[in-house]
Structure 1
Amino acid sequence: MSIDILLETIDVTRRFGGLVANRDVSIRVHRGEILGLIGPNGAGKSTLFNLIAGAYLPTSGSIRFDGRDITELPATRRCALGIARTYQVPRSFDSMTVLENVMVGGFVRHASSKAARLAALQVLDFTGLSRTAGTLTGELTPPEKRRLEVARALATEPKLLLLDEVLTGLTPSEAQLGVELIRRVRDAGITVVMVEHVMQIVMPLVDRAIVLNLGTVLASGSPADVVRDPAVISAYLGTRHAA
């Protein structure tokens, strides 16, 4: 693996009984980039996210991260190595405060509550959630809960951050704040892979895009090249986009 490559999946296949969710998926993620993973519903994006994060193990193929084979490692070990993720449906601890939720992520790197709290406070400041630190998570608005997902993941001090539709369902102004946060994350030295359906937002944001369709890689390249690819237009964007 090249030193520039942080993550690589090699011919990864995942079967659920007779259903093949991913078939021979080979992708590379470069250090310091924002990579967009796009495609129609049922394309296999969420399955690939789960394979990278360790929620699923591949039926065949291998996954390498930061120079080592992680194919068989559980999610907890991958998190310790530097892979963090958010969820499409936020998974917060609603009876705990925002600060306590982010501290959960902080305990990945810090053994003491004092150190985890300090790290969590720094992340809350970075993500613009400081004013909600003492608020019960169940009282947050949906956009705040999405941002909290990012904050908790960042508290694990990742090298790679997997963002699962963190901009979906936001107003234009909320989405713009989300874009600015993702750029700050990348500028802090964290590589980002994001699944997103809002094309008008994601394409100007990402450095590269990979399109999945029916569990396989349909196209890969710069956003401008991908949206002009006839196969992508046919499978995902539609003829209206071509016009």
Structure 2
Amino acid sequence: MSTDILLDVQNVTRRFGGLVANSDVSVEVRRGEILGLIGPNGAGKSTLFNLIAGAFPPNEGSIRFEGQDIARLSGPARCRLGIARTFQVPRSFDSMSVLDNVMVGAFAKEPGSAAARRVAYETLAFCGLQQRAPAPAGELTPPEKRRLEVARALATKPKLLLLDEVMTGLTPSEARLGVELVRKVRDQGVTVVMVEHVMEIVMPLVDRAVVLNLGKVLAEGKPRDVVRDDAVITAYLGERHRAA
């Protein structure tokens, strides 16, 4: 495997009973890139995302991170190796402070509370939430909760950050701030894989896009090429996109 390939998913299949959610999927993620996973509802994006994160193992195929086979490792074990994720529905500890929520992530790499608190403060500042550090997480607005998810993941000091629809439900101005944050994360040397439905946001942001449909890879490449692909237009974007 090339040294510039951080994550290598090869011929992965995942079944749930009689449903084949992913079928013979192969995806390479290069160091330092922002990769977008897109496709219609039911395409298998969330399943592939969860396979990478360690929510469950594949039935077939391999998942290698920095050359190491991680297909059977748990989510926490993958986190210790350098894979962090957010959730489509934010999962904060609402009765705990924002700072303590991020410290939970920092404890993945920092055994002492003083060091974890320092990392948490630094990460909150990076994500623009430092003023909210003492507030209960339950008081955050929905956009702030999404940033908290990102901050907690970043506090684990990942090499690969998996973002699950972090732009969903944001206003245009909030989405612009979200795009800036993702770019800042990449500028810090963190590779990003993001599942996103808001095409107007994700396509100008990502370096490459992988389109899934019916559990299989339909297309991949640079965003400008993917959106012109006839198969992608037919399966996902629609004929109105072709006309535009």
Q: Do the structures match in fold with TM over 0.5? A: yes
Q: Deviations over 1:149-181 (max 9, x none)?
A: 000000000000000000011000000000000
Match of 1:9 in 2: 9
Q: How far apart in 2 are the matches of 1:60 and 1:67?
A: 18
Match of 2:237 in 1: 237
Match of 1:159 in 2: 159
Shift of 1:236: 0.2
Q: How far apart in 1 are the matches of 2:99 and 2:112?
A: 15
Match of 1:108 in 2: 108
In structure 2, stretches of 5+ residues that fail to align are: none
Match of 2:79 in 1: 79
What do you get for the CA RMSD once the two structures are aligned?
Answer: 0.4
Q: Deviations over 1:64-123 (max 9, x none)?
A: 001111111111110000000000000000000000000000000111111100000000
In structure 1, stretches of 5+ residues that fail to align are: none
User: 1:88-99 residue pairs with structure 2 within 5 A?
Assistant: 88-99=88-99
User: 1:58-77 residue pairs with structure 2 within 5 A?
Assistant: 58-77=58-77
Q: How far apart in 1 are the matches of 2:206 and 2:72?
A: 29
* TM-score with structure 1 setting the length: 1.00
Q: How far apart in 1 are the matches of 2:67 and 2:88?
A: 28
SS at match of 1:88: coil
Shift of 1:140: 0.3
SS at match of 1:27: strand
**What amino acid sits opposite 1:98 in the alignment?**
V
Q: Deviations over 1:166-208 (max 9, x none)?
A: 0011000000000000000000000000000110111000000
**What amino acid sits opposite 2:102 in the alignment?**
V
Q: How far apart in 2 are the matches of 1:85 and 1:72?
A: 17
Q: How far apart in 1 are the matches of 2:166 and 2:227?
A: 21
Q: How far apart in 2 are the matches of 1:228 and 1:33?
A: 21
**What amino acid sits opposite 2:77 in the alignment?**
R
1:175 aligned onto 2:175: yes
The size of the alignment, in residue pairs, is 243
Q: How far apart in 2 are the matches of 1:171 and 1:231?
A: 30
Q: How far apart in 2 are the matches of 1:240 and 1:106?
A: 46
Q: How far apart in 2 are the matches of 1:21 and 1:164?
A: 17
Q: How far apart in 2 are the matches of 1:227 and 1:160?
A: 25
Moved over 2 A (4+): none
